[in-house]
Structure 1
Amino acid sequence: MRDKPEIRERVWTLLTERRAARFPLPLHDRIPNFAGAELAARTLAATPEWKAAKRLKCNPDAPQRAVRLQALREGKLVFMAVPRLRDARCFLRLDPTKLGGKLAEAATISGAATRGEPVEPASLGTIDLIVVGSVAVSPDGARVGKGGGYSDLEFALARELHAVDEDTPVVTTVHELQIDDEPLPMTDHDVPLDLIVTPERVIRTRRALPKPKGILWAELSDAQLDAMPVLALMRRRQRR
């Protein structure tokens, strides 16, 4: 089976060569922004999973900006993680009723950092829908991110706190060129997708893999825990 770096490189190159890439450029080492991201967001907004959701956790990357804006315009509560979970209050809470009409600004990465309310993970409550960014996806629900592993870790953290469970829909918006019909490598900590949305269609995955039931502590080094205070504190409490 191909490895993840090879898969990422293929997608970044393909989007660039086919002129489907959008700012920020170059795409390498990013969740790639793509032509039609706004249409994909509108397509997602027409799904039953979206319509039923009131509280969302969404990634902060550029291709999902339109998703975040759509959610705020519809009055949904949006949570975004602080980069690398580096703060004790590691989520930003975006409440559209408290943004003074600055919804478009709050939907950006920089705007969320200034207008969002930093909160601890316990403030997540029950999350109805998770939106993740992807580099590559396959119709069976497998996903390859940009390589940091933070999206999977955020899910695991939310699962530890019972904010999400096996049935919480996990969705992504991507370009058609990001869909790979070949098998993608998945590990125990990788979060599979329930829904893949492109500007052209909605794919309900044939998900065979279970979602992680929590944090796989054995995979985290002491240095990683030191860099993420919220996880270090949770680990200490579990060891008591």
Structure 2
Amino acid sequence: MDDVRAAKKEARSRVRSRRRELVEAQGAAGRAAQSTELATAFLTWAQEYAAGLGRADLAGLVVTAFRPLATEPPVGELVQALLGEGVQVLLPVTVRDSHDLQWVAATEATGDGDPDQVMHGARLTGDELGPDALLGVDIALIPGLAVDPQGWRLGQGGGYYDRALDLVRPGVPVIVALHDHEFPSHAAPDLEVPHAPHDIPVGGVLTTHGVTRLT
């Protein structure tokens, strides 16, 4: 386990450094364009997925998303697009001294985050949904630093999603939002995603090119 932790720490450092370079290079206009492309790609896939379930549209579905950190794929426009389709979007809240994610419903004011808006160490207000909210989710869109072709995900290291994904119903798609250069088949050859016995593989990745299912 110590070897896995060390390997994950090294991989996180490489990914975070590359992401900082990417965001600096793309600027505000590039990030805005990426946000629009991610929204279009995810909405297109979600509509196809819903049709496969026999649904006429997306209304009534429950989808998780997240407030992106400054270097994470910008998904604020994606959240707004889902809300416009009648989807309930749940956003995670990490709470100090708690090992489980809480959840809040996204609103029209929800957008791409910045360090001052992301709720790290927030205190509960009583309006949150508990961890069991994931039992009712139809699609889980989650953050991640990397995903390999087998679906192993590299997270930020807090272990929140390792516990949360255990509550997602079997068969529900778990999709990780990545930057285009992080797509598994194009990942740097020296970047492996080490995993431990408690890690749960994900089912796909989202980039501006669309959703690609891995399992």
Shorter-chain TM band: 0.5 to 0.7
The alpha-carbon distance between structure 1 residues 154 and 56, as it changes in their structure 2 partners (threshold 3 A), is: same
The alpha-carbon distance between structure 1 residues 201 and 124, as it changes in their structure 2 partners (threshold 3 A), is: closer
Q: 2:149 aligns with which of 139, 149, 160?
A: 139
Letter in 2 for 1:40: L
> Take 1:87 and 1:142, find their aligned partners in 2: how far apart are those partners?
21
Q: 2:15 aligns with which of 11, 15, 20?
A: 11
- Offset at residue 143 of structure 1 (A): 1.1
Q: Is the 8 A contact 1:14 1:177 kept in 2?
A: no
Q: Is the 8 A contact 2:39 2:78 kept in 1?
A: yes
Match of 1:44, SS? helix
The correspondence of residues 5-154 of structure 1 with structure 2, limited to 5 A, is 5-18=9-22, 19=24, 36-47=34-45, 48-49=48-49, 54-62=61-69, 63-84=74-95, 86=98, 90-94=102-106, 103=108, 105-107=109-111, 110=117, 117-122=127-132, 126-154=136-164
Structure 1: gaps of 5 or more residues: 24-32, 208-240
What's the CA shift string for 1:165-218, capped at 9, x where partnerless?
22110012211222336541122332322121211243221x3xxxxxxxxxxx
Match of 1:45, SS? helix
The alpha-carbon distance between structure 1 residues 14 and 87, as it changes in their structure 2 partners (threshold 3 A), is: closer
Match of 1:118, SS? coil
> Take 2:169 and 2:197, find their aligned partners in 1: how far apart are those partners?
16
> Take 1:203 and 1:66, find their aligned partners in 2: how far apart are those partners?
20
Structure 2: gaps of 5 or more residues: none
Q: Is the 8 A contact 1:11 1:177 kept in 2?
A: no
> Take 2:178 and 2:131, find their aligned partners in 1: how far apart are those partners?
27
> Take 2:27 and 2:181, find their aligned partners in 1: how far apart are those partners?
14
> Take 2:87 and 2:36, find their aligned partners in 1: how far apart are those partners?
18
Residue matched to 1:192: 201
Q: Is the 8 A contact 2:42 2:210 kept in 1?
A: no
The alpha-carbon distance between structure 1 residues 201 and 83, as it changes in their structure 2 partners (threshold 3 A), is: same
Residue matched to 2:175: 171
Letter in 1 for 2:42: L
- Offset at residue 130 of structure 1 (A): 0.5
> Take 1:185 and 1:87, find their aligned partners in 2: how far apart are those partners?
22
Residue matched to 1:221: none
Give the TM-score of the pair, scaled to structure 1. Answer: 0.61
Q: Is the 8 A contact 1:68 1:78 kept in 2?
A: yes
- Offset at residue 39 of structure 1 (A): 1.1
> Take 1:22 and 1:46, find their aligned partners in 2: how far apart are those partners?
26
> Take 1:152 and 1:20, find their aligned partners in 2: how far apart are those partners?
32
Give the TM-score of the pair, scaled to structure 2. Answer: 0.67
> Take 2:81 and 2:213, find their aligned partners in 1: how far apart are those partners?
21
- Offset at residue 135 of structure 1 (A): 0.8
> Take 2:81 and 2:140, find their aligned partners in 1: how far apart are those partners?
14
